[in-house]
Structure 1
Amino acid sequence: MVPITTIVITGGLALAVIGPVTRHLGDLLTQGIVMIYDAAPAVGALLFGSLYAPLVITGMHHMFIAVDLQLITQNGGTFIWPMIALSNIAQGSAALAMFWVAKNANEKSMASTSALSAYFGITEPAMFGVNLRHKFPFYAAITGSALAAIFVSLNGVLAPAIGVGGLPAFISIMVQHIPMFLVGMAIVLIVPFLLTVLLHNISKKRAQKSQA
C-alpha cells in the first residue's frame, strides 16, 4: 500500500498544486528576464546565464522553448537560445575539468561521459553526477555561462531557430552572428575548465593544510 499511496498523493499534488504554481512562477521569471534584457541587455544576460543551470535542476527551463518560438515569430530571431546552448557547453567543460583532475577511475568515467553528453545538449548527467556533487564545478560553469551570455548579448547574437543546445548549436545561429557565437563558445570551453581546475587545486591545498 505504501508505494501506490505515495504515488497517488504526490502525483495529485504535482498535477493540482506544484505544476501550476511552478508554471506561473516560471512565466513571471521569464517575463522579468525578458523585460530586464530589453532594458539592459548585459544585466539580463548576466541573470539568464547565471540562473539557467539552476532552473534546469527544477525542470522549469522547458518554459523558455515557448518564449524562443514567440521571439522567433515576432522578431525573426531569439536571443535566449544562444545563451541556453552556451550554458550547456559550460556544464560540459566543468565536468571535463573534473575528468582531468580526478584520480578515481569511476569518477573519470562519469565525468568524461557526462561532459560529452553536455556538449551535445544533455546536461543532467554532468550537473547531477559530477558538478553539483563537487559544488565548485557547478559554480565555475555558471560563471563561464554568465560571461559568455553577456558577450553574445552585447554583440546581438540571435538564432532564427532552436536546435541542439551544445557544440552543434552554431548551426542554429544566424550566419552573420556565427563568428561572435564561436567566441562565446570559446569562453564557455575555457573559463569553466580553468576555473574548475583552479578551485580544485585550492580545495586540495586547504584539505592538506587541515590534515597537517
Structure 2
Amino acid sequence: MSKDTLYKNAASEILKLIGGKENIVSAAHCATRLRLVLKDDSLIEKDKIENVELVKGSFLNGGQYQVILGQGIVNKVYAYFALEANIKEMSTSDVKNDAMQKLNPIQKIARVLSNIFVPIIPAIVASGLLMGTLGALKAFGLESMSQTWWWSMLDWFSSSAFIFLPILVAFSAAKEFGCNPYLAAVIGGIMIHPSLQNAWTIGGGYKTMPILGGIIKMPLVGYQGTVLPILLVIWIMSIIEKRIRKIVPDVLDIFVTPFLTVLLTGFLALSIVGPFAMLIGNGISIFLTFAITKFGIFAGLLFGGTYSIIVITGIHHSFHAIELTLLAKTGANTLLPIWSMANFAQGGAALAVYFKTKNSKTKSIALPSALSAFLGITEAAIFGVNLRFRKPFLAALAGGAVAGAYVATTKVAMNAIGLTAIPALTIVKPGSMVNYVIGLIIALTVSFSITYFLGIEEE
C-alpha cells in the first residue's frame, strides 16, 4: 500500500469515527496533531480511532479533540481530511476560538492566561539563560570581572525582560482582550515610570502622594517585574476603550479615544488597581515561598504528584503567571523544577511501556512519546500511552511526587519559565544543577520501575 493511500485511508477512517463531516465545527493541525472542534463529542469512537493505522493516540482537552499522528504525517493526513470533509484551510487559532466556546469558566481563564504568556516565553527564557551565564561565571570565581564592559552588558541583557515585563505583558494581553496593544504598552510604561520608586529597591517602604483631596494616598511605587497588576489594568483598559469608542463620533475617534483611554486607565492603574493587585501578587508569592520553604517535602509531593492530573484539565497553562510573579519577587522559580519532575516521570513510565509491551504499534508510539516527554512535551506520553494503560500514569504520578519532594527539599530553582525536563538544564541556577539532575534520575527510576513491576494490561 502506498503512503498516499495510507494517508487517505487514515483521514477517511478518522472522519467516519468522529461522527462524519456534519459533526465538525472546525479543524486544523499543529506540528504533530489533528485538532478538531466537534458539535457532539459523544459521537467520538476513541478506541477505534486509536486503532487506525498511523494514529499514535488521541485525547479531548480544552474543547478540542486532538489526534496524534506525528510530524510530517499530520499535514498530509489533514490535506485528505479537509478535502473529504469539504472544509477550508484553517489555522490553529481559528480552532482555539471555536474551542473556547465549549470551555467552563475556569478553563477559559486558564486558556486566556496561556494565550497571553506563551508568546512572551522566548523573552523570559533568553533572560533566564543570560542570568544562568552570569551565575556560572560567578560560580567559577570570575565575579572580579564585574566592572568590565561585557559583564555590565550581560547584566543589562539578563534583567531587561523582567524590568520591562509590564510592557511585554501589556502588549500581549491587549491582543487577547481586543484593545489597542500600543496604548497598552504606554500604560505598561506608565506603571514603570522612572519617577516612581523601583519596586526592588524600596527598602524603607513606599512613599505616598495624597490625591483627590487626600481621599486616596497613592503609593509612588513602580511595578517592574510584576504580572497581576498589569493583567488587571489592561483588562480594565479593554473595557474602557471599547465603551469610549462606542460613544465617540468616528471623526473624533483617533484623538478622543486614545486620550481618554490613557488618562482614565493610567489614573486607575496607579491609584487603585495597581496597589490592590500588587497586594494579591505579594500574597501569592509569600504563600508559595512559605509553603516550599517550610513544607518543602510535602509541597513537592503534592505539586509533583498532581501536576500531570492538572495537565489533563488544561489549567496548567495559567501557571506561567504564578511562576513569573514568583520569579520577579524572589529571583527564583521554585515551581518549575517540580513541574519538570512530573513531566520527566511521564517519560519514564512511557519508556517502561516500550520495554514491557509485545504490541509493535504500542512500541512505535511509546518510545517517541517517552523521548518527547524527556524534552518537556508530555501530551503524547500522557494521552497516547500512560492514560491508556492506567497503571503507567499512576506510576508517573508517584515518580513526579517523589522527585518533586526531592527538588523542593533541596531548594532547586530556575531563572526563567517555559522549559522543563532536559531543556530546562539551560535555565537551572548553577547551585541547583546537581540536585536537579538527581531529581530527574529519581523521576525516571521510580516511574519506570513501578510501571515495569506492575506491568500493563493489553488486549
Instruction: Give me the TM-score of the superposition, normalised by structure 2.
Output: 0.40
Higher relative contact order (CA 8 A, sep 6+): 1
Of residues 12, 33, 40, the one that matches 2:101 is: 12
Answer with 85-94 or 5-14: which moved more.
Answer: 5-14
* Root mean square deviation of aligned Cα: 3.0
**What residue number does 1:193 align with?**
448
Distance change in 2, residues 1:175/1:19 (3 Å): same
Distance change in 2, residues 1:85/1:22 (3 Å): closer
Q: Which amino acid aligns with 1:170?
A: L
Question: How many pairs are equivalent?
Answer: 198
**What residue number does 1:65 align with?**
320
Contact 1:163/1:172, CA 8 A, preserved across alignment: no
Structure 1 residue 54 corresponds to structure 2 residue 87: no
Alignment deviations for residues 14-46 of structure 1 (CA, whole Å, 9 cap, x no partner) = 3x74545778xxxxxxx6983643542221111
Displacement of 1:164:
2.5
**What residue number does 1:182 align with?**
437
Contact 1:42/1:154, CA 8 A, preserved across alignment: yes
**What residue number does 2:392 align with?**
137
Contact 2:100/2:108, CA 8 A, preserved across alignment: no
Larger strand percent? 2
Distance in 2 (alpha carbons) for counterparts of 1:67 and 1:40: 19
**What residue number does 2:115 align with?**
none
Alignment deviations for residues 91-137 of structure 1 (CA, whole Å, 9 cap, x no partner) = 00100000001101100000001111111111010001110010110
SS at match of 2:39: helix
Percent of pairs identical after alignment? Answer: 36
The runs of at least 4 consecutive aligned structure 1 residues that moved more than 4 Å come to 1-5, 7-11, 20-23
Contact 2:305/2:397, CA 8 A, preserved across alignment: yes
Distance in 1 (alpha carbons) for counterparts of 2:409 and 2:434: 14
**What residue number does 1:150 align with?**
405
Instruction: Give me the TM-score of the superposition, normalised by structure 1.
Output: 0.82
Q: Where do 5+ consecutive residues of structure 1 fail to align?
A: 24-30, 205-212
Contact 1:68/1:162, CA 8 A, preserved across alignment: yes
**What residue number does 1:111 align with?**
366
Distance in 1 (alpha carbons) for counterparts of 2:374 and 2:407: 18
**What residue number does 1:207 align with?**
none
Displacement of 1:162:
2.1
